[in-house]
Chain A
Amino acid sequence: MRLRPQTGVVLLALALAALALVAAGCGGSKTVSAAAATKGSSNGTAVLNGSGATFPEPIYVKWTGDFHSTHPNVQVNYQGIGSGGGIEQFTSQVTDFGATDAPMSDDELAAAKAKGGDVLHIPTVLGAVVVTYNVKDVDKLKLDGPTLADIFLGKIKKWNDPKIAALNSGVSLPDSDIKVVHRSDSSGTSYIFTGYLSAVSPEWKSKVGQDKAPEWPTGIGGEGNDGVAAAVQQTDGGIGYNELAYAIENKITYADLKSASGEFVTASLDSTTAAGQGVEYPDDLRFSLLNSKAPGAYPIVSATWQLLWRDPSKAGLNRAQARALATFVTWELSSGQKEAADLNYAPLPKDLQSAAVKALDSMTIPSS
């Protein structure tokens, strides 16, 4: 290779520029946030960045696209990085809105309040967690909460255990081992599932409790929804849990569960929405729909939330952004709901929809 002197000088300049870029990237971790970089755009376009739960990511991405086509001056970006990360980035105001599968805790709210004031929880869609299983020649299985908890506690070890048999008269259950599969990663799905087990089994509540990554008493871990599904399907006698949407899309068999009102319910979008009907919602909309007593309700149901600042301008959003955010979330709660079922998310029940709109009304939106 021959280097002409001039080429060398040019190369040097290029390299120095590259070094400067690298240095800037290393230094300014807080100062050049994605949100800040897009603020104050001149052509009247408002850019909103959000991040958080992965469970609703497909519907959020669809919503942001559809919203942009009817509101071309608003660009909403959403990245599924996990609920914990979503809360973290929202609180530190790296993003303009957050998203989470579990409501923020009192501690997290206090930390957020110190940084940008009150936080609004806006439920967007409902999701369900189903119990997937793989037992030879059993394509219809019924379980109730206490039995499910005992299986995941490792107390029921065989598929033909009397407790399971009692719920499944007429089904011939094999004498094979039950092999429990759980999520190995930290996940909102585990949080919802263990929340249900805690609600129906005092023993589960005291020994394990509700957690995104609990200390599982038994079983092996699979990574993500697909990891659990693969493990259940590869293991004869396997039992695990998956998001309803994932199970529907991948045609995985799941069990009927006994609801709080005593009926066996098959998980579906309808029985998921049913869980939220006729429920008293608290003003801050941090609620649980687990083990709902509503008629026809599937028992393992949870909402997923978007997190907004009550006064966005205090948290660094400009006027255009604050107005765009309010418009976007209002749109999600009305037009957006009609798209939910296409992607196997359960739309909000009427009561909850109006409660969410009411909460959104308390947001401080600067007038133009």
Chain B
Amino acid sequence: MQPQASRDSEPGPRAGPGSLGESMTTTTETPAPAAALERLKRPRSRLGRSADQSFRWLLTGFAAVVLVVLALMLVRTTYVAWPVFQQHGLELITKQRWFPGDNAFGALSFIYGTVLTSVIAILLAVPVSIGIALFVTEVAPRRLRVLLVYLVELLAAVPSVVYGLWGLLVLLPWLERHAWEPISSVLGFIPIFAGPANGRSFATAGVILAIMIIPIVTAIAREVVALVPHDHKEAALALGATRWEMLRLAVIPYARAGIIGGTMLGFGRALGETIAVALVIGGNPQISASIFQPGYTIASVIANQFNEATGFHIQALLAIGVLLFVITILVNVAGRVFVWRAARGLA
């Protein structure tokens, strides 16, 4: 039932004599057999020690690359975009008009579109992801589980431009005719569903994004659901809980923090998605309450205008890039904190 458990406490009986690699992969929490411990106590050769040292530096170097690249990106883009921040300041995030020809650079409608499409994506993706996670870990027979996990992870391997083109040519006309138009004709009196319903809209972009973030949200939800101790579940069942009650009372409360964290990571990914959104969002810098109207997102504006931009316009695009970078980092950090907390609480 719990594949994780057996993987974590893997003992080291296969360790060869004086095996350096094996000693490194054996983590400190897991009890190593006495024989292996004995071998580790023996003095190692000088070459072995220096290799150990250099391997450590090598790994540290790889880890540092990530930080350096990230810092370089942020510093460099902020540096180039600095005149824009200086000249436009807060207007960048409070004004709506974006027209490079007239030196108007207000990104409010892009920020609105970015957040709105991501929120729609989360609202659609999270329930589905939790459902998949619970089904895979608690309900599905073993063979189906493997297949399903594989298929969901396959979703993450589809290039985003393929999602975009499929969304544009297949999903968009279908949604417009069979979903958005009926919904807005019945519920159009509610501002968020106000017509005339348009295929190129926040809603369509949200659906595409939802499909794109299901893999990451599902993967994390699956992990935290699998971490729920067996005792808790058995206790619930022993008290006469049905399977549904067991999931509701024992599993979901235990996994909640991790699921929230996964949600925020999915949110961070949705914020930055570019080409798939650019193809279906409609490209109008407007703030409309209705999710069936065309809009714009930060990432798709950058994709759409960067090619033809010159001079200050490029700097302005970099400036909103920095803005997106900051928003995404904040969301991701928040998500990570949740996941860490969840993991520590469960370990």
Q: Interface on A for B, CB 8 Å cutoff?
A: 1-3, 5, 8-9, 11-12, 15-16, 19, 22, 26, 54, 81-85, 87-88, 108, 183-188, 209, 211-216, 220-223, 227, 230-231, 234
Residue B65, interface by CB 8 Å: yes
Known A3-B51, A227-B279: A186·B294 in contact at CB below 8 Å: no
Chain A residue with Cβ nearest B305: A186
Interface residues of B, dominant DSSP: helix
Interface residues of B in 58-109 (CB under 8 A from A): 58, 61-62, 65, 68-69, 72, 97, 99-101
Residue B129, interface by CB 8 Å: no
Interface residues of B in 255-294 (CB under 8 A from A): 278-279, 281-284, 294
A12 to B58, CA, bound (A): 6
Bitwise, B35-50 to A at CB < 8 A (1) or not (0) is: 0000000000101101
Q: List 12 A-B contacts (CB under 8 A).
A: A1-B21, A2-B19, A11-B55, A15-B62, A85-B306, A87-B310, A88-B310, A108-B310, A184-B284, A213-B100, A213-B304, A222-B283
Chain B residue with Cβ nearest A227: B279
A15 to B57, CA, bound (A): 10
Residue B8, interface by CB 8 Å: no
Residues of A near B57 (CB, < 8 A) are 12
A2 touches B20 (CB 8 A): yes
A209 to B101, CA, bound (A): 10
Residues of B near A3 (CB, < 8 A) are 20-21, 51, 55
Residues of A near B28 (CB, < 8 A) are none
B294 touches A85 (CB 8 A): no
B58 touches A220 (CB 8 A): no
Of B47, B65, B72, B281, the contact of A5 (CB 8 Å cutoff): B47
Interface residues of B in 185-236 (CB under 8 A from A): 198-200
- Closest Cβ–Cβ distance, residue A22 to chain B (whole Å): 6
Known A15-B61, A185-B283, A222-B283: A212·B308 in contact at CB below 8 Å: yes
Residues of B near A81 (CB, < 8 A) are 307
Of B55, B283, B307, the contact of A85 (CB 8 Å cutoff): B307
Residue B54, interface by CB 8 Å: yes
Of B48, B51, B99, B307, the contact of A84 (CB 8 Å cutoff): B307
A160 to B239, CA, bound (A): 73
* Residue from A5, A16, A54 with most neighbouring chain B CB atoms (10 Å): A5
Chain B residue with Cβ nearest A85: B307
B101 touches A221 (CB 8 A): no
A5 to B266, CA, bound (A): 41
Residue B245, interface by CB 8 Å: no
Residues of A near B50 (CB, < 8 A) are 5
B54 touches A12 (CB 8 A): yes
Residues of B near A227 (CB, < 8 A) are 168, 279
Given contacts A2-B16, A85-B306, A186-B305, 16 further A-B contacts (CB under 8 A): A1-B21, A2-B21, A2-B22, A3-B51, A5-B47, A16-B61, A84-B308, A84-B309, A85-B309, A108-B310, A184-B278, A185-B278, A185-B303, A213-B101, A221-B283, A234-B176
Of B51, B54, B97, B294, the contact of A221 (CB 8 Å cutoff): B294
Residue B172, interface by CB 8 Å: yes
Chain A residue with Cβ nearest B279: A223
A81 to B99, CA, bound (A): 21
**Which 9 pairs of residues, A with B, have the shortest CB-CB distance?**
A184-B283, A221-B283, A82-B307, A186-B308, A185-B304, A84-B308, A5-B51, A8-B51, A2-B21
Residues of A near B16 (CB, < 8 A) are 2
Residue B25, interface by CB 8 Å: yes
Residue B169, interface by CB 8 Å: yes
